[in-house]
Amino acid sequence: MGERRGGETFHAGWAVLGLRACFDPDAAVGLRAVYEFHVDDEVLHARVDDGTVETIHGPAQHPDVTITITEEAFVEVTARTLTFSDAIDAIEAGTAAATGDAEALRRPPVLFRLPARRSRPAG
**Residue among 57, 66, 58 at smallest CA distance from 99:** 66
Q: What is the predicted pLDDT for the residue at 11?
A: 74
How does the average pLDDT of the chain come out, rounded?
80
Give the global pTM.
0.77
Overall domain count for the chain: 1
107 is a domain residue: yes
Exposure of 53 in the CB half-sphere (CA atoms within 13 A)? 22
119 is a domain residue: no
118 is a domain residue: no
Domain containing residue 24: CATH number: 3.30.1050.10
Per residue in 63-112, pLDDT tens? 999 999 888 777 776 665 444 556 667 777 788 888 999 888 878 778 88
5 is a domain residue: no
Range of 24's domain? 12-111
- Give dist(CA 50, CA 31) in Å, integer: 5
94 is a domain residue: yes
The 32-39 sheet, strands edge to edge: 52-57, 42-49, 32-39, 65-69, 96-100
